[in-house]
A and B are shown apart, each in its own frame.
Chain A
Amino acid sequence: MNKPNETIKAPLSEQEILAKKELKEQRKRDISEFIINYSLYILLVGFIIFVTIMRPRFISINSIVNIITQTAFRLPIALGVGGIIVLTGTDLSAGRIIGLTAIITASLLQRGDYPNIMYEGLADNPMPILLVLLIVVIVGGIFGAFNGFFVAKFKLHPFIVTLSTQLIVYAISLQYIQLGKNNGQPVGGLRQDFSDKIIGSVSIFGINIQYLVFYAIILVALMWFIWNKTVIGKNMYAVGCNPEAANVSGISVFKTIMTVFIMAGMLYGVNGFFTSAYVGSNNAATGVNFELDAIAACVIGGVSFSGGVGKIKGVVIGVFLLQLITASFIFLGVDANLQYAIKGLVILLATSIDMRKYLVRK
C-alpha cells in the first residue's frame, strides 16, 4: 500500500546510496592498492619489530653497521646482475667470476715475506693497488663481454651461456691457484696496506664504518646515474622491454646487450677485489653461489624477469633485506638447516607479492 511513496523516494535515495557506495569502494580500492604496492616494506618493518622484541640488541648500532657492511659487500654483484635481469637475462657465472678475480687480486697483492708467494718478483716490487683493481676489472669485463657476445650475437639464452662460462671460469680458477709455489693452496698473506683500504674503518661520530661501505655507495651512485641519466641506461630498459621495437627504433640491440654484460663483468671484478680482502684467504670456491643471492635480491627488490622493469633502489633494498634476514637468523638462533628453507620461502613470498602488482585482475 505504501508503494507510491516509495517510488517517489526511490530514485533520489538510490542515487545517493550508489554514490556513497562508489566512494566507499574507491577508498577500499585505494587502501588495498596501497597495501599491495608497499606490502614488502610493511612486512619488512613488521619483521624488524618482531626481531627487536625478541632480541632488543638487533637494532643496536653495532648490529646495524654490521648489516650495512654485509650489504655493501654483496652490492656490486647485485648491481651487475640487476642490469642483466632488466634485459630478461640472468647470470650464473657471476659468483665464479668473483672467485677468479678475488684470487687474482690476492695473488698480486701478497706480502713479500709470505712463504707461498705466487709471484716472487712482486716481493721486491709491490704492485700499485689501483693497478690491480684495474686488472681485475678488465678481467671481469672480458668475461662479461664473452657472455654478452654469445647472448647478443647468437641469441642464446643467458642461462645457457653463463652456465657454460661458469664452468670455464671455475677451471681457470683451479688452474690459476696451481701457479708458482702455491700448489692449489688458498691464496693468502695479503698486504696490510691493501686490507686496510678495504676492510679498515674510519670513525664517524664514534661509529666505525669500513671503507667498503663508501666504495659501495659510490658504485650505487654511479650505477644509478648510468641507469637513469644516460643513453645506455635508457636503451637497456628499452631492449629489456621489447628488443624488436628497440631495433626498429634505431637502438643497436647488440651493442646494448654487450655493454650491459661488460658493465656487469666489471662490477664482478670490483666485487672480487673486495672479496679478496674480506675473505683474506681465497681459493677456487670463493664466491660460489654469490650470484644466486644476488638474483634473489634483485627479484625481491622488484627487478622483474619479464624485462624492462627495475630500479637501483630496488636492488639496494633487496640486498639489504636479504642480509637483514640472514643477520636476524643469528640473533634468533635459527637452526642452520632451517635457515635455507626460510630464505627460500622469503624469496617466494616477496616475489609473489611483487607479482601481484602486475597480475591482470579479472
Chain B
Amino acid sequence: MMLLIQKFDRNIDFWINEYDRIGGLTMEYILKMEGISKSFPGVKALDKVNLFVRPGSVHSLMGENGAGKSTLMKCLFGIYFEDEGEIFLEGKKVKFSSSRQALTSGVAMVQQELNQAVKRNVMDNVWLGRYPKIGPMVDHKKMYHDTLEIFKTLEITVDPKETMSNLSVSQRQMVEIAKAVSYDAKVIAFDEPTSSLTDKEIEHLFSIIDKLKKKGCGIIYISHKMDEILRISDDVTIMRDGKWISTTPAKDLTINSIIKQMVGRSLDNRFPDKTNKPEGKILEVKNFSALYKNHIEDVSFDLKKGEILGLAGLVGAGRTEVLEMIFGITSKKSGDLILNGKKIDNKNSRQAIKNGFALLTEERRATGIFGVLNILENTTVSNLKSYQNKVYLKHDPMKEDTKWVIDSMRVKTPGQHTKIGSLSGGNQQKVIIGRWLLTKPEVLLLDEPTRGIDVGAKYEIYQLMINLASTGKSIIMASSEMPELLGICDRILVMSNGRVAGIVDAKTTTQEELMSLSAKYM
C-alpha cells in the first residue's frame, strides 16, 4: 500500500513538473526551446541554450557572429538535430526533421539571403509545393485570389503575377512573410531582415511585424542593429560562445549593457587610435561611368597617401561597382584613373595588381576564398609569379610567406595545409588580406572588410588598416556600417544611386548627415 502511494506521489510530482515545464494552462510561451546543446567535431556550438518566446511579442536574439544564433535557428527548423534539449510549440513537444515540416507545423523563417525561385512569379513562390488544384491541374485563379487576400491583410502592394526577379529586396522579403502567413505560422523568425533595406522600407517591415504581433504570432528577430532591437523588441535573449547569457525585457536594456553581455566585457574602445597622417595625393578618379550598370555616373574623387577613405551609401548605391571599376573587373564606359600624376588604365585584375592595387571583395565566399584549397594555396595565389624559378615554383619561399601571413595577421589555424573553408569568417578574411599584402600594393580597395566578422576580429582588422595607412598605404573602404566608417576613416564619400552625393570629413560629420546624403538622388 505504502509503495502504491509512493508511486502515485511520484507520478503527481512528475505531472506537475511536466505541466510547469511546458508553460502551464495559460500557455505563457508559444515556443520553448529548452536546454539545447549541439556539438560539432571539436566545437560545442550550443551549450544548454534556452529561448522562450511569448505569443504576440517580438523576441530578439543577439550575439556576436559565432555565438550560435544561426545554429540555434537551424536546430529549430530541423536543419540540424540537437544533441540535447527539447522544443515545445504551443505546449506540444516537437522535433522537426526538415524545414518543410517546420513550416507546415507553423514555424517559418525569413532568411537573410532569400531562397526563392526568382524566375517564377510571386504566387508560384508563395504556394510552392502545395498548389491549389482542380483535379490534376493547378488552380491559378484560386492561387491569385488567395495571394491577393494575404497581401491585402498585410498591406503589401505587389502584383501576384509579377516575376520575382523584378522585385526589390524589400518586396521579395514581403513575399516571404506572406508565405509564412499563408502557412498560418505561429512563430516567424527574421534573420537580419533590415540589412539591405532603406529607412522607408524598414518602417513598412516594422508595421507588418506589428500586425503579425497583433495576430498573436511569436516573432524571433535576429539583428546586429542595436537601436532597431531596442525599438521593436519586447524581450531580448543574448548569447555568447554558444551559451545562453540572459533574457531581459527590452525596456531594461541599453546599447552598452547589450554589448557588455555580448562580448563579456565592456568595449570602450571599439576602434583603435588613429595614427595615420594623410598627405599629398596618390590617386585621382575622374568622371567614372559604368558601361553596363548605367546608373553609375560621373564619379570623381581623389585619395591621399596614407589616407583611409570611406565609401558610404545604401545597398545598390554603386560602392562595389566603383571599387571594381578601379580594379578593372567591372567595365567602365568612360573615366580616367591617375596614379601618382600618371594616367593609367586597369583593363583587368592583372594590370591592376601590377599597378599596385589590391581588391578585397564583398562576397568572401563567392569571390574571395578558394574553399577546398588550403591556406598556403590561398595566400600565394595572387603572387605565384614571384615564386617562379624559370620552370617550377619554389616551395620554401611560399611556405615562408604563408607563415608570415599567419603570424602577422594572427590567423588561428592548425597549420598551413588546413582548408581555408574550415576557418571562421574572420580568419578567412585575414588570410585574404594577407594574400593581398604579399603583392605589395600601394592602394587597397576593401569592400565590406568586416562583414560577417565578430567584434574582436573586427578590432584587429581596424588596427591592421590603420597600421597600413600609417606606413603610407592608401585605403578605400566601402562599408554599410556607419559607426565603422566614422570610427576609422579620414574622409567619407557618400554615394547615392550611383552618384557622388558628397565627401565629408569623418571627424565632423554625423550618422544623420550620412543618411540624408545617401538619399540625395533617390
Interface residues of A (CB under 8 A from B): 29, 225, 229-231, 234-235, 237-238, 241-242, 244-252, 306-309, 362
Contact = CB atoms under 8 A, between A and B. Distances in A.
B198 to A, nearest CB: 28
A238 B369 CA distance: 9
Of A29, A245, A248, A250, most buried by chain B (CB within 10 Å of CB) is: A250
B349 A249 contact: yes
Going nearest first, the 7 A-B pairs with the smallest beta carbon separation are A241-B370, A229-B392, A244-B367, A250-B353, A249-B382, A231-B384, A250-B349
Given A242-B371, A248-B329, A230 B393 contact: yes
A237 B373 CA distance: 8
B43 interface: no
A241 B353 contact: no
Given A250-B353, A251-B381, A252-B350, A238 B393 contact: no
Interface in B372-386: 372-373, 377, 380-382, 384-385
Contacts, number: 77
Interface of B: 41, 79-81, 327, 329, 348-350, 352-353, 359, 361, 366-373, 377, 380-382, 384-385, 388, 391-393, 435, 439
A238 B391 contact: no
Of B352, B381, B382, most buried by chain A (CB within 10 Å of CB) is: B381
Contact of B373 (A29, A238, A247, A251): A238
B384 A247 contact: no
Contacts of A230: 391-393
B393 A234 contact: yes
Contact of B384 (A235, A241, A248, A308): A235
A235 B359 CA distance: 18
A231 B329 CA distance: 22
**Chain A binding surface, main DSSP class:** helix
Given A29-B41, A230-B392, A309 B349 contact: no
Given A234-B381, A251-B381, A242 B349 contact: no
A309 B81 contact: no
A238 B388 contact: no
B373 A308 contact: yes
A362 B81 contact: yes
A211 B353 CA distance: 47
B238 to A, nearest CB: 27
A76 B479 CA distance: 50
Contacts of A242: 366-367, 369-371
Contacts of B435: 249
A125 B515 CA distance: 83
Given A244-B366, A249-B349, A362-B81, A234 B371 contact: no
A75 B466 CA distance: 54
A249 B370 CA distance: 11
A248 B368 contact: yes
Contact of A308 (B370, B382, B388, B391): B370
A136 to B, nearest CB: 25
B350 A238 contact: no
A275 to B, nearest CB: 30
B398 to A, nearest CB: 10
A238 B378 CA distance: 8
A237 B370 contact: yes
Contacts of B373: 237-238, 241, 308
A235 B381 CA distance: 8
A308 B421 CA distance: 13
Given A231-B388, A238-B370, A308-B372, A248 B381 contact: no
A229 B79 CA distance: 41
B349 A234 contact: no
A234 B366 contact: no
B371 to A, nearest CB: 7
Given A230-B391, A234-B384, A308-B373, A362 B80 contact: yes
Nearest to A26: B41
Nearest to A304: B372
A88 to B, nearest CB: 12
Given A29-B41, A231-B388, A237-B373, 15 more contacts: A229-B392, A230-B392, A234-B377, A234-B380, A237-B370, A237-B377, A248-B368, A249-B349, A249-B435, A250-B349, A250-B352, A250-B353, A252-B350, A362-B79, A362-B81
Contacts of A241: 370-373
Of B348, B352, B372, B391, most buried by chain A (CB within 10 Å of CB) is: B372
A245 to B, nearest CB: 5
Nearest to A306: B372
A330 B262 CA distance: 68
16 contacts: A231-B384, A234-B381, A234-B384, A234-B393, A237-B370, A242-B367, A244-B367, A245-B366, A248-B327, A248-B359, A250-B353, A250-B382, A307-B372, A308-B371, A309-B372, A362-B81
